[in-house]
């Protein structure tokens, strides 16, 4: 089982709590499959963790989106395919930032993802971006790049996705790293509160 190394102490001093990736000791979690989603109206970041191991990751492109309803249908179809293929026990989803331009559309997509997952018998958990960044990087002020670098430091096969130079590549692969981060936050949940 791959365990992520704990974050280094914050340079602000030893009074800052350290967050670490300590695998949950629950017997259920050892057998659990988590489908993790970074939702979007055009691209969906996806990661699957089985018993704490990252077994699948991708960015799914929603091709059927001439109208918003078609786009939602494409998202629902993609989620159903992922659920049938990976048989998750849990769907972990990133909550949207309120300031995103397509917040209304994205909120509808998220509702459809949650509804579809529940219809398929999958338990849904939502994670705020600040909580994910705090857990993965040790600070809720971490940038998307810092989050991606932290994850890539533990999964070296992902470092090739950090080399993207164009704005498009950064946004596209950002979906991938965010999905993995949400999945790890769901799977590894113990906070070491020792100071």
Read off the pTM.
Answer: 0.79
Beta carbons within 8 Å of 47's beta carbon, 6+ residues apart: 35, 36, 54, 56, 57, 176, 179, 180, 182, 183
Q: What is the pLDDT of residue 17?
A: 28
Residue 138: strand, helix, or coil: coil
Please state, rounded to an integer, the average pLDDT across all residues of the chain: 79
Fold entry, domain 22-190: Nucleotidyltransferase; domain 5 (3.30.420)
Q: How far apart are CA 112 and CA 122, in angstroms?
A: 13
Q: What is the pLDDT of residue 113?
A: 93
pLDDT in tens, 60-73: 988 765 777 777 88
Q: How far apart are CA 93 and CA 87, in angstroms?
A: 16
pLDDT in tens, 52-104: 899 999 999 887 657 777 778 888 999 999 999 999 999 999 988 765 555 67
**Which residues in the chain come in under a pLDDT of 50?**
1-28, 190-195
The ranges assigned to domains in the chain are: 22-190
């Amino acid at each position: 089982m791959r365990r992520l190394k704990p974050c280094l102490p914050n340079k602000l001093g030893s009074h800052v709590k350290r967050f670490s990736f300590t695998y949950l000791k629950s017997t259920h979690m050892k057998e659990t499959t988590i489908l993790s989603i970074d939702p979007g109206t055009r691209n969906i970041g996806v990661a699957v963790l089985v018993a704490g191991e990252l077994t699948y990751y991708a960015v799914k492109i929603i091709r059927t989106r001439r109208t918003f309803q078609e786009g939602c249908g494409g998202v629902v179809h993609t989620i159903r395919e992922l659920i049938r293929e990976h048989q998750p026990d849990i769907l972990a989803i990133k909550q949207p930032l309120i300031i995103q331009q397509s917040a209304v559309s994205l909120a509808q997509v998220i509702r459809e993802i949650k509804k579809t997952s529940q219809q398929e018998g999958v338990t849904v958990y939502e994670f705020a971006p600040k909580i994910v960044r705090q857990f993965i990087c040790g600070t809720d002020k971490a940038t998307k790049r810092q989050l991606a670098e932290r994850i890539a430091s533990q999964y070296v096969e992902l470092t090739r996705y950090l080399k993207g130079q164009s704005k498009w590549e950064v946004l596209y692969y950002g979906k991938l790293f965010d999905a993995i981060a949400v999945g790890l936050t769901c799977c590894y949940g113990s906070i070491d509160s020792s100071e």
